A and B are shown apart, each in its own frame.
Chain A
Amino acid sequence: MKTHVLFNLFATFLLADGLNIEDSAGQFFSSGHTNNWAVLVCTSRFWFNYRHVANTLSVYRSVKRLGIPDSHIVLMLADDMACNHRNPKPATVFSHKNMELNVYGDDVEVDYRGYEVTVENFLRVLTGRLPPSTPRSKRLLSDDRSNILIYLTGHGGNGFLKFQDSEEISNVELADAFEQMWQKRRYNELLFIIDTCQGASMYERFYSPNLMALASSQVGEDSLSHQPDLAIGVHLMDRYTFYLLEFLEDIHPASKANMNDLFKVCPKSQCVSTPGHRTDLFLRDPGSVLITDFFGSVRKVEITTEAIDLTDPIKEVEERPANGDVHKEMHSYVDQLPVSEIIHQNGKLCATSTNKMSLCCFHGDVSECEMQLPRGLGVEGPP
């Protein structure tokens, strides 16, 4: 009888413990992602669009602070504000007036800059269809367990976003790009934030699963900028990203703030425009999604007590020359300006030229010279 009771107690204890394990295991795998990526794009050029670069750099700064490394961030800035000749304080980009916060910092790596920020490059980065010689830092190497944060800022309108004042990307193209990413299993969950005028129009056409989108203004509304700095002479930040930065400054890697808090950032009283969001394509409840699921890179660590055998270190085989005393020729530095060698480089061609300068001082032989003379050159041209 006693053993029976003991056995029952033991079994219930095991069961309770097991439930606990299942609970924590469930929590462990609740978000479903194992790595974080961020694609931050500023699409505006020219000095008076300083605030767009400051917007992107603030999000970059928050994302780096919360743990995503540079190798997992693709930062695209269409123009250089920090070292612009009109910047009174070079190598700085400020977000608050009176130069309180330098969001450019000392440790920044911009992957696409200047003329490289085009619609084509942006879509290639998202879909992964880049030329084979593209370096790793310019690629979005995400997999199906990656959570990606995409942040776009610039000038936009109803259904489009302007890139560098010369081309635009439409909401249909963007939705199709995300669908391509979904088909190729390039993301687990994707958070899309856009800070432009009429930004909500950009996420209207999304149709792929696991997408959550936030915008700074509705269709028909303009997103406004926050405050100018009289020393620098331009507006420093846009309102929505300014309050987003203030919100993110309070987040630390262990914070439990969730997406519902993010939706409340910048109400109409502060932002003048009405920020919007879209969660119908997202499978999880936004209240259970942590901010750090997208903005941070919280690694989950599983402690194991197994021992792993490391193999013996590979001994480098030292190549010795066959005979110990090989006669090696003496190397020397090359003459930097060998005048006589240069003059005689083309041998007879230059030497036989008349007092008029001959164009036949090409490399190689005379036949090449005759072929290469383009029409009209080498004869008396128009005065």
Chain B
Amino acid sequence: MAAHRCCFPVWLFILCSFSLFIIAGSQETTVAPEQHASVLDNPQTAAETAEQTAGESGGVEERRWEGTEVRDAAAQKQAEPAVLQPTPQPKDDFQEELVVRPLHSGDIYASFQFRTLWETDFMRGNKVSHYRLFPKSLGQVISKFSVRELHISFTQGYWRTMQWGQPYLPSPPGAELWVWFQDSVTDVDATWKELTNVLSGIFCASLNFIDSTNTVQPSASFKPLGIGNVTDHRFLRYATLPREIVCTENLTPWKKLLPCGSKAGLAVLLKSEKLFHSSFHSQAVHIRPVCQDWQCKTTSWELRQTLNVVFDLHNSGQGKREWSLFKMFSRTLTEACPLASSSKIYIDITDNPEGEQFELSPATSLLSQAMVLGDRRTFSVYDLTQQDTFGSVRSLNLLIRWKSTEGDMLRPLLHAERYVAGYGLQTGEIHTLMYNHHPYRSFPVLLLDSVPWYLRLYIHTLTVTSKGKDNKPSYIHYQPSKDRVRPHLLEMLVQLPPNSVTEVTVQFERALLKWTEYTPDPNHGFYVGSSVISSLVPSTVAMDTNSTRERPLFSSFFPCKEESSYFVRVYTEPLLVNLPTPDFSMPYNVICLTCTVVAVGYGSLYNLLTRSFQIEEPSPGLAKRIANVIRKMRGVPPL
């Protein structure tokens, strides 16, 4: 409002009349200059009340939230004093953690988990529009497709259970997607098709190849992991794409879903050049409703983003049994994510109580115990929200140096293998082996097999044997395949006797595909997705059944209903089978050969039949030719 030197009184008059006009328009009775002063005062009071009543964690987010309030208050020109108290916004909370487990083979297993909890209701009538920590793209997917639970994972490599133990979150090679829909959905198949297309755009993966030929509806496996009362399996769909490649283009949108992105907190460690140079890499997104508190009357939505990676001793470790954050990820940590309420690193030191196996530096006094995978494990904890974790150099680079290589790994109780037997390109046999390493307890396993339609299974040849004897499953669900429409689905509940190997065999025949159905590289082979084995394995310690107590994220994924066993899911290897492949250059060869045969054979015959011969004089010399010309002119016959 710079005043012009020449027209000052005029401008002042215009200003005064203008402000009077504004005041007349509003409902306030205060005079103009006083109003400006009071608006300035208001933001401060708004800030104070917001601080008191918000109760949010993290200083930065609090200030950010206040900022919105201030602008709101100013715009409304303090129409109602009640607006200064925050309207009850759904509370959201973000936690991040990293678990590092040194493995006996010298490899190292790192598992990142990022969890966002949000108390909101996507299924409400009016749409949710204000997203803060929860990513908007996923929130819109949930509300548009009425999703109750969504689990998607992208994995490169195969988890070697016998060398590495059990993972915290299992996943099969390739892409896997399973979704529980709400019971308000009328056409589940159409919704599933649209959902896969939308997810393929979000994650830059070719999930649009999921269609009825590789989707199944399990009847007993894959019960919902979130809360819920109804489990009608008509609303469940499961599909895998074993051929799906995982690379940086899948990691990039995955990182963008995190509240801090890859700029702060544990996500700065996620550099693709190191993550994909590993034996096993798996990233997943899990969305489900969970209990808000111990009473469990209201639900909140939980989004977990997990990333599991196993670094090889020889590839990434250069043969030395010494691991540090910098060696694994080529980065060190400098701060926690400001939006996180908790940011922790857990190192598994159960096998190293006195420090005789490996040495951990920098030392930390925080210890934590957790019941995970049927065992009580001890962890050293680094809390990144505390400034002194970073020390004087302001960066944290954990170092694990091995001192001795002795010690035995606890053998996992459940383990499975699968392979194709047989020879030739006509028939074959699929063998699935399930190992129970418990010395005296037997437990039930649920085996889910989804075989594509082009391997025609002969179910009458299905045999299940344990220790050489027939082992009849107590439940079988089989849905035969339909050519080009749906795959085989075989689900069996088998009791595994203690300390035994159970073998499931079934013979199959390979189908001949139509020539347009072959991929551009058919000699690579065709993939059969992993079998899924779900089981309740007896645990060595009493598991924690109270699901709402504060627990580290890695131990709270699978809900635990009883103390004596824990739920585990094991995936077998995918199979690669060769189908009888035609030679695609044959049409060209056939055309050439046919045309040649027709030309040579028919042409010769035609010539023989229709060709006539004429006698022709040899051409005469020059003199004779001139004489012939003169004779022709005279009308006399030539020589």
A residues apposed to B, CB below 8 Å = 45-46, 80, 82-83, 89-92, 104-116, 131, 133-138, 164-166, 310, 312-313, 315-319, 328-339, 342-343, 345-346, 350, 355, 357, 359, 361-363, 372, 374, 377-381
Contact = CB atoms under 8 A, between A and B. Distances in A.
A331 B493 contact: no
B298 interface: yes
Nearest to B565: A337
B231 A334 contact: yes
Given A46-B521, A315-B87, A318-B87, A136 B460 contact: no
B245 interface: yes
Contacts of A328: 297-298
A134 B253 CA distance: 17
A363 B476 contact: no
B462 A374 contact: no
Interface string B530-562: 000011100000000001000000000011010
Interface stretch (B51-59, B222-230, B415-423, B604-612): B222-230
A114 B444 contact: no
A381 B219 contact: no
Contacts of B206: 112-116
Contacts of B219: 345, 363
B599 interface: no
B220 interface: yes
B124 interface: yes
Contacts of B223: 334-338
Contact of B249 (A108, A116, A318, A332): A108
Contact of B297 (A91, A330, A361): A330
B537 to A, nearest CB: 10
26 contacts: A46-B521, A89-B273, A91-B247, A91-B272, A106-B248, A106-B252, A106-B272, A109-B253, A115-B209, A135-B201, A165-B520, A310-B75, A316-B87, A317-B126, A331-B227, A331-B299, A335-B561, A339-B493, A342-B220, A346-B477, A350-B475, A355-B472, A361-B476, A377-B458, A377-B459, A380-B460
Nearest to A80: B245
B82 to A, nearest CB: 11
**Residue among A114, A165, A315 with max Cβ neighbours from chain B (10 Å):** A114
Given A137-B204, A331-B229, A336-B558, A345 B276 contact: no
A200 to B, nearest CB: 26
A46 B524 CA distance: 11
A82 B204 CA distance: 15
B194 interface: yes
Contacts of A90: 273, 276-277
Given A82-B247, A83-B156, A343-B475, A359 B534 contact: no
Contacts of B536: 336-337, 339
Given A337-B535, A337-B567, A343-B475, A312 B76 contact: yes
Contacts of A362: 477-479
Interface of B: 72, 75-76, 87-88, 124, 126, 130, 156, 193-194, 197-198, 200-202, 204-206, 208-209, 219-220, 223-229, 231, 243, 245-249, 252-253, 271-273, 275-277, 291, 295-299, 444, 446, 458-462, 472-480, 493, 519-521, 534-536, 547, 558-559, 561, 567, 584
A164 to B, nearest CB: 4
B241 to A, nearest CB: 10
Contacts of B297: 328-331
**Residue among B201, B226, B231, B472 with max Cβ neighbours from chain A (10 Å):** B201
Contact of A336 (B124, B458, B476, B534): B534
A7 to B, nearest CB: 22
B493 A135 contact: no
B75 A313 contact: yes
A264 B160 CA distance: 55
Contacts of A339: 444, 474, 493, 536
The 6 closest A-B pairs by CB, nearest first: A135-B201, A333-B559, A83-B247, A133-B197, A91-B276, A164-B520
Contacts of B460: 377-381
Contacts of B197: 131, 133-135
**Residue among A107, A329, A374 with max Cβ neighbours from chain B (10 Å):** A107
A363 B219 CA distance: 8
B227 A332 contact: yes
Contacts of A46: 521
Contacts of B474: 339, 343, 350
Contacts, number: 192
A313 B72 contact: yes
Contacts of A133: 193-194, 197-198
A343 B494 CA distance: 11
B444 A337 contact: yes
Given A108-B252, A331-B299, A137 B246 contact: no
Contacts of B461: 381
A83 B246 contact: yes
Nearest to A81: B247
Contact of A135 (B198, B229, B252, B479): B198
**Residue among A135, A138, A165 with max Cβ neighbours from chain B (10 Å):** A135
Contacts of A343: 474-475, 493
Contacts of B559: 333-334, 336
Contacts of B584: 166
**Residue among B126, B130, B272, B298 with max Cβ neighbours from chain A (10 Å):** B272
Contacts of B220: 342, 345
B358 to A, nearest CB: 27
B446 A359 contact: no
Nearest to A90: B276
Contacts of A114: 206, 243, 245
**Residue among B197, B204, B245, B478 with max Cβ neighbours from chain A (10 Å):** B204
A249 to B, nearest CB: 22
Nearest to B220: A342
B526 to A, nearest CB: 12
Given A135-B197, A330-B296, A337 B521 contact: no
B249 A113 contact: yes
Given A106-B252, A330-B297, 5 more contacts: A107-B252, A138-B201, A334-B224, A334-B229, A336-B558
A213 to B, nearest CB: 27
Contacts of B561: 333, 335-336
Contacts of A312: 75-76
Contact of A337 (B226, B246, B520, B534): B534
B446 A342 contact: yes
A331 B291 contact: yes
B219 to A, nearest CB: 6
A60 to B, nearest CB: 11
Given A312-B76, A336-B536, A342 B480 contact: no
A224 B468 CA distance: 63
B277 A89 contact: yes
**Residue among A112, A333, A335 with max Cβ neighbours from chain B (10 Å):** A333
A106 B271 CA distance: 7
A310 B480 CA distance: 62
Nearest to A78: B520
A131 B245 CA distance: 24
Contact of A372 (B124, B459, B480, B519): B480
A355 B534 CA distance: 25
